[in-house]
Amino acid sequence: MKISVAQINYHIGNFEGTLDKMLHAIQEAKDAGSDIVCFSELATVGYPARDFLEFDDFIKSAENTIARLCEASKDIAIVVGSPTRNPKPEGKDLFNSAYFLAEGEIKFVQHKTLLPTYDVFDEYRYFEPAKEWDIVTYKGKKIALTVCEDIWDVGTDNPLYNLNPMDKMMEFGPDFMINVSASPFTYDKAADRLKVIKANIDRYKVPMFYINHCGAQTELLFDGGSVVMAADGSFIEMPYFENCTQHFELEKILHGHFPSETQEKNKIKLIHDALVMGLKDYFGKLGFKKAILGLSGGIDSAVTAVLAVRALGAENVRVLLMPSQYSSDHSVDDAVSLATTLGIQYDIIAIKDMFESFMQKLDPLFDNLPFNVTEENLQARIRGMLNMAISNKFGNILLNTTNKSEMAVGYGTLYGDLCGGLSVLGDVYKTEVYELANFINKDEEVIPQNSITKPPSAELRPNQKDSDSLPDYDILDKILYLYVEKRTDPSDIIAAGFDEKLVRRVLKMVNINEFKRHQTAPVLRVSPKAFGMGRRMPIVAKYLN
């Protein structure tokens, strides 16, 4: 028996486009002589479809896709994830299911048992968990079908559920497992994924075919990395961030003892590739082509510009250089140098006169109060207005360049440097932005070295530096990581060696700036805990304030 694994970039609700991709992969599998071709979780609708799942017409379209896949299954079996209606009056209306199609009909359906409802997942909102388990037999082989989370409660120190569906299926003596997944990317997910699959292999002693999504769905990124693992732990890991269909001889997998094939797991490379994919798919799936951003000469906008060019092409990226009277000459020079290296359109619009015009109108109202953050924010909002003017006039989508450190502590201006259609670096700490810049420059200097080495500054007042308002990023990012990603208690962060006064100041900044984060663009998610859909904090609260 030969089994094909189709790792595909789906587009939520694009039923015809999805079906075309599937039929192409099915033909590839047929040409390779495969007996089964496997697609991923909820492949017919895309993941996460969210409240589209509440529309009857949406579910009918998924059912129509299954019907058309049945037609394609006359000489090859198809495993595919899709929603299924719950025929019983009690419980949720839908199941999250794995279909086994063969000989032109639906041969078997196994519903998902474990429904994640944490971080970015909200499956119990829509789906009823399985309460019955069985396996399917095809061409003399017994196959256990599971859906994503159904394998993730094995080998963990803190089980979230009180049963494992494979424990039930093992009673029927399966020859191998197929797991259809939609497991979002984080920079540590690939390594965790292999550990989880290996834990299942160790527990059940049968091979697994694990099929994952590839591509971006707004802020959620999927890296692919589908895996075929033998009972002895030998495995083949498919490429990251790539649409591809690969074919496997079942006898080889059942026998095991073959050299494992793994992918590189360098954290910064993974983040780089994920962000490029996220940008490309956000624009492509929404029908956008061109981007714009403010290029300041600093490291955040420089890295964002490079990622945009790699995702969209130089011809589709435009930047505005908007120096004020507080901008240094080298900032403009660094920005021009980068734009020239990248081959992108740039325009220089000095904002001094605009700022002074605003101040002339506002001075009578400001009542001789001293210069403060108000005047700084005014400059940021002028820049935001100019970026949005180009966006509106020419259709360039504005990219937000704020990093996670700044977003965490509110070091940004609403309707100014925080505006944009997509936040590219909002899940990348400042120290990681430096690592990204050095990764980009690993073969040749793309980002001017001065943008990397000079002290970071918003340049909104004379001789301003980020360190005037914030702790050193090396310290700040460690505190933020413990609080945001690890959910570490303040007392434990202090016990880890950080100054108590500093810790309480940083955590207060994080909490009181929740209102800003609720008004910012979607953030491309690369870490285990990103701002956005996976981190749900109240805006109005007293804790640590």
**What residues act catalytically?**
41, 112, 148
Q: Which two tokens stand for residue 151?
A: 């394998």
Torsional class of 162: left (φ above 0), alpha (ψ -120 to 50), beta (otherwise): alpha
Q: Which two tokens stand for residue 45?
A: 């609708």
239, 404 contact by CB (below 8 A): no
Structure-token match 């980020």, residue found: 466
Distance of alpha carbon 31 from alpha carbon 247, whole angstroms: 10
Closest CA to 95 of 18, 164, 147: 147
With vertex at residue 435, the alpha carbon angle to CA 506 and CA 187, rounded to the nearest 5 degrees, is 80
Distance of alpha carbon 187 from alpha carbon 197, whole angstroms: 18
Residue 399 carries which side chain, given as an amino acid letter?
Answer: L
80, 66 contact by CB (below 8 A): yes
475, 466 contact by CB (below 8 A): no
Residue 162, Cβ neighbours under 10 Å: how many?
7
For residue 397, what are the contacts with CB-CB under 8 A and spacing of at least 6?
A: 283, 288, 290, 291, 292, 391, 421, 422
Alpha helices in 175-249 (DSSP H): 189-204
Indicate the pairing of strand 397-400 with strand 244-249: unpaired
